[in-house]
Structure 1
């Protein structure tokens, strides 16, 4: 009998061995090759990539920095590291220092360029699924009510926002109703005092030509009917060793949350969302929250081997059941048909300068279908108590978005800008629509090959001096985009080799460095000629 019990325990240990932390830590010191620099880990650090000689320690198991996390590092000299588990990393005097509780990590040699390293890692560890989110994401602007309405989501103002967008010449697109439309978290009915007839609202938005999405999160308000029902069913995440629902402190206070590692709980949640769709005519959902940074306690997950990173991975995966989806936090999930968004950016020139490097970092971590937050910024506190807006900043932010895979408005240009500058924003929203067929073509290419839609210049033109270029990017392999990300009307452009035609019809032969004039109504971009 003892022998049988021992064998059973051994079998259990072997089954869970890949997921169990080691009793000690594995350390790796990766000596740099000549001219080697590293990208990877956290999308929110894109503006620091490639990492310089010094980078403070980053822990993927503790903080996602309000954005996506991927256990991947890739180098300009064709090497990469991958783990299925979170690890810690830092850079000291050019050396990449890796610390893991699970395994010893060593670099894989995949070639001699950033592109070769990325494509090899993608093919092996997060191959493209062949599927896309809804195609309209890639050609039509998105409109999110967050900055305009904040926590005062209501039917009258939502419809007014949509009508004003159309009246001011902005293309119809995907319309997102943000946080605080629900009675409370975990409930999926509209607040009756704010939405007297929500079905009539969505019907009107549809007649106007918009698709409609709602903000949702995995959290459940404590002491609500839903909380009591879900706790009874065993669908809530439990505090470790207590058999009681854990309380998670997130940006809206303390809430219980769905145990997203429980298949029955997730099936139930998806059923609630589909009932919401049928009742109110909703096309899809913005899946917010699920950040590993809020999971700072000890928990008993339904999936015994799960941890906070697995929780974040499973929350992101819910989007695969809804073609109209959007996420801001994810663990792994590269190559999947999920719309990702950069974390909330401030209303500032510095935040505008982060958009290009953070977007190219998202592409290098497997997230081709990414939106660069909101035009002008998505951090609502940055918009409070502003008497006069920097109109140049808003217009330039809009131009950066225009030739990205997606663009999203929140603060209303027609409210805060002059008539002339609002019209400039409408012009570039229309440019995004005009570029839609090409962007969609690149999205389909990404779904088959894994290649980013927005590409780092070093990725596209390796070892040609672009390693630290953070104010230009490639849209596919055809367009090089060089927006204004600082105040003023002139900038330096570095053209790669080849023949190029700019947005004004002028042709140039690269390689070439030039200073160009960029009036406020111009977005410089260069089409590569055959």
Structure 2
């Protein structure tokens, strides 16, 4: 939201009160509170008839500093609020000195310094270097032409600083120059709207910023003032956190410690998911035909997903199988499990009027109401639908009880669709502010479903396929990219959305292979297959057409087989990347800037990504197979062809449908699994360690997780001159070592060490 007409003037009707003169800074045990007048204080009379800006600086945990900017403090504390972790990490508070007329609060590597006299100024330092700052022209108590109140802040952008994140956004990956409203919407992937809005941005300048406001937050990133990032909220209070790096990974580690780390996901979820698609006709015979077709073609399948019409039309969501289409759902689920498949079913939090649950929820008071006590309803999506009130604990238990029936029948996980179309003209059970609940609703919705799965299926076995989210939603994986078109352009915009979501603290991400809207050309489908099967999670799904590969052409079958087998063999590597997402908040799919923050060539790249720390993936967005890939410093090796290329530079390549740029980082020890038929197996048994260009003096530890979080193996690899040594810990089966382009050795079970001569 813009408040100014250029740099000097405000928009018509807008008034901005800025902190002009610091009156006092009071040091507490773990905080600083600054009082700044909105005008000069030359005489005592200058203290009259003007607002006072109160700024409180504190720290919830190491490397994170909170700033609260307030006008009037007499309001009622609104709900909902983000769940913010806290700690007793040391905080150092110092007052002004003769040498430095500023007070300071230090938390780990991050220090905030505030002027105690004169003009308002607040600097943030990481390891002694100023990374951003707020000036008297940035903070503002704003009143617009309609009398609405806002609080805004502006933080400085340095020369060459780039801003990323703000949720899953499909616009340019670098957010500089963009206006972004954090407001969840069901808008597809082709506009500036987003399903997953997160009021957090990451920079490559040593810090990130999280605005602690679950409602609408308006960002102007180098747009209203080109040298600053502005954010504003309605009301009398703005709270934000500056989060220290210095590296982007450090920022994400701290941000996810503050708002919640991604849960670990079951190994089977990394396999290929096949859907009925949305409006297609299907029954058990159709489903079985798809599954048989996959097996006959050696296309490993892990999850079968039933989309909306597993329920009767006009009854969504009553969680009752359509008896005309599925007369024996329990038997069908048993038969699918006998095929070694997991089962996912589509749900949403909306209750159609025709569903028997509507009357039940209305009578129990579990549906969101209007101010007059009537149930809020509309006809968009489902006729007469209501909305489950997840602020009511009894409504949560009621909703979970309906889902538990499905789990007892044999369903393994849920696709939690929607959650964005949340009204603001309603009354919530717990008194939550409707504006703040609009974005936050999805958090309560996905949390309710995820908690049920965790309770029923066990820790590490819960997984969703969710569309909407806000800050903290990364705790309930997996999330997919929403309704994209079946084009190369939409394929690229989907990737940008995934990269932005990864830069917002989300560890796992997926998308509809081939696109959702319409039927993709076979060329688009085959190119998208390689991209989809080199994502953290992989799903074949569409709107009005089936997505089985043979529906396109036989080459699509071959491409599916090649990349599904490849992904299964990479499970020892991918599972460890998942461990890092869970333990450190580092996403499985990573923007290039996350791995190469000091490489200016990587800062703006949004057409490729790192899969884990060591695999570079560049999807092909053209029918002809032409692709430009940015290769960072060093000599990289193609995992598919063995060809080598040296960076840093852009490389132009042409690939067939069975290939794409997939490069291994120099100095990598890549664990490759012994199986290509499934994602859940003993990764260490038969694992091959592939060594890529290890430099002399190399020392590293490669961890291979056990199945679904069980203890795994650890391999210590070192090179001295022409000798490579590998020491294994916890490897009970046979394993192998291969120097790419050189020697290899197979190691018998029970052997704990081996040496190779280069």
TM-score for both structures, normalised by structure 2: 0.62
Match of 2:632 among 496, 516, 521: 496
State the Cα deviation string for residues 404-452 of structure 1 (Å, max 9, x = none).
1011112424343221232112211221222222111101111000111
Indicate whether 1:302 and 2:429 are aligned: yes
Distance 1:110 1:478 in 2: 25
Distance 1:486 1:422 in 2: 19
CA contact (8 A) 1:319 1:338 kept: no
Shift of 1:214: 0.8
Shift of 1:519: 1.7
State the Cα deviation string for residues 161-216 of structure 1 (Å, max 9, x = none).
22222222211211110002123123222111111222222122111121011111
- Partner of residue 664, structure 2: 527
Match of 2:172 among 35, 43, 48: 48
- Partner of residue 340, structure 1: 479
- Partner of residue 508, structure 1: 645
Match of 1:419 among 535, 554, 557: 554
- Partner of residue 152, structure 2: 27
Match of 1:100 among 233, 236, 239: 233
Cα distance, 1:255–1:66 mapped onto 2, change above 3 Å: farther
Distance 1:42 1:164 in 2: 38
Indicate whether 1:463 and 2:598 are aligned: yes
Match of 1:377 among 515, 521, 545: 515
Match of 1:228 among 359, 375, 378: 359
Indicate whether 1:121 and 2:258 are aligned: no
Q: Secondary structure at the match of 2:465?
A: strand
CA contact (8 A) 1:493 1:514 kept: yes
Shift of 1:18: 4.8
CA contact (8 A) 1:162 1:205 kept: no
Correspondence list, 1:354-373, <5 A: 354-371=493-510, 373=511
Structure 2: runs of 5 or more not aligned = 1-72, 82-140, 142-147, 188-192, 454-461, 668-758
Cα distance, 1:355–1:225 mapped onto 2, change above 3 Å: closer
Shift of 1:463: 3.5
Correspondence list, 1:2-151, <5 A: 16-19=76-79, 24-45=149-170, 47-53=171-177, 55-60=178-183, 65-85=193-213, 86=215, 87-91=217-221, 92=223, 94=226, 95-102=228-235, 103-104=237-238, 108=242, 110-123=244-257, 125-128=258-261, 131-138=263-270, 140-147=271-278, 150=279
Q: Secondary structure at the match of 2:559?
A: helix
Q: CA RMSD in A?
A: 2.5
Shift of 1:301: 0.7
Cα distance, 1:469–1:122 mapped onto 2, change above 3 Å: same
State the Cα deviation string for residues 132-152 of structure 1 (Å, max 9, x = none).
1222112x11111115xx253
Indicate whether 1:268 and 2:398 are aligned: yes
Cα distance, 1:158–1:497 mapped onto 2, change above 3 Å: same
- Partner of residue 449, structure 2: 319
Q: Secondary structure at the match of 2:475?
A: coil
Shift of 1:487: 2.5
Shift of 1:17: 1.5
- Partner of residue 436, structure 1: 571
Q: Secondary structure at the match of 1:120?
A: helix
Q: Secondary structure at the match of 1:276?
A: helix
CA contact (8 A) 1:170 1:426 kept: yes
Match of 1:163 among 268, 292, 306: 292
Cα distance, 1:521–1:120 mapped onto 2, change above 3 Å: same
Distance 2:307 2:241 in 1: 42
Q: Secondary structure at the match of 2:336?
A: helix
CA contact (8 A) 1:319 1:326 kept: no
Q: Secondary structure at the match of 1:163?
A: helix
Q: Secondary structure at the match of 2:175?
A: coil
CA contact (8 A) 2:182 2:197 kept: no
Match of 1:242 among 347, 359, 372: 372
Q: Secondary structure at the match of 1:176?
A: strand
Distance 1:274 1:200 in 2: 17
- Partner of residue 207, structure 1: 338
Match of 1:353 among 478, 481, 492: 492
Cα distance, 1:221–1:404 mapped onto 2, change above 3 Å: same
CA contact (8 A) 2:185 2:195 kept: no
Distance 1:223 1:236 in 2: 14
Which stretch shows the higher mean deviation, 184-193 or 499-508? 499-508
Distance 1:18 1:228 in 2: 31
CA contact (8 A) 2:450 2:463 kept: no
CA contact (8 A) 1:335 1:447 kept: no
* Greater C-alpha Rg: 2
Shift of 1:62: 6.7
Indicate whether 1:518 and 2:655 are aligned: yes
CA contact (8 A) 1:457 1:474 kept: yes
Cα distance, 1:168–1:107 mapped onto 2, change above 3 Å: same
Cα distance, 1:231–1:172 mapped onto 2, change above 3 Å: same
The structure with the greater share of residues assigned to strand is: 2
Distance 1:315 1:525 in 2: 37
CA contact (8 A) 2:181 2:219 kept: yes
Which stretch shows the higher mean deviation, 510-519 or 344-353? 510-519
Distance 2:645 2:356 in 1: 66
CA contact (8 A) 2:272 2:537 kept: yes
Cα distance, 1:242–1:211 mapped onto 2, change above 3 Å: same
State the Cα deviation string for residues 89-127 of structure 1 (Å, max 9, x = none).
13316342311125335672624543343333233x224
The count of corresponding residues between Structure 1 and Structure 2 is: 499
Cα distance, 1:254–1:518 mapped onto 2, change above 3 Å: same
Distance 1:101 1:209 in 2: 52
Q: Secondary structure at the match of 1:332?
A: coil
Shift of 1:272: 1.2
Distance 2:195 2:152 in 1: 26
- Partner of residue 587, structure 2: 452
Distance 2:591 2:77 in 1: 38
CA contact (8 A) 2:637 2:645 kept: yes
TM-score for both structures, normalised by structure 1: 0.88
CA contact (8 A) 1:44 1:342 kept: no
